[in-house]
Amino acid sequence: MSGGKFWTRREESAPAEAVPASPRWRLTVVDRCDRCGAQAYVRVLLPGRRELLFCAHHNRQHAAALAKIAVEIQDETPRLVPVAA
């Protein structure tokens, strides 16, 4: 996890009731996996509005456990294209 903290993308100036419970946005190249720092393709929203970001590899590794506790899972791994050998 990024320095032991959870990061959210909530605008601090907006009142809490104006912020949607489950914001949807596309993950970009600046979103990094909390385990290894690779580009994140999965966003996991946990209770308490905390989030974790995972690369495809770490998502596969932890998917079963995360599915049990997650409020929402935003999976963008279909955006990955297999590399031709």
Distance CA 53, CA 41 (A): 7
72: Cα separation from own chain's centroid: 9
Domain boundaries in the chain?
A: 30-85
Q: Check residue 14 and give its pLDDT.
A: 40
Instruction: Kindly report whether the global pTM for this prediction surpasses the value 0.85.
Output: no
Per run of 10 residues, the mean pLDDT along the chain (length 85 residues) is 45 41 76 97 95 96 96 94 77
Distance CA 69, CA 65 (A): 7
Contact 73, 44 (CB under 8 A): yes
Neighbours of 52 (CB within 10 A): 23
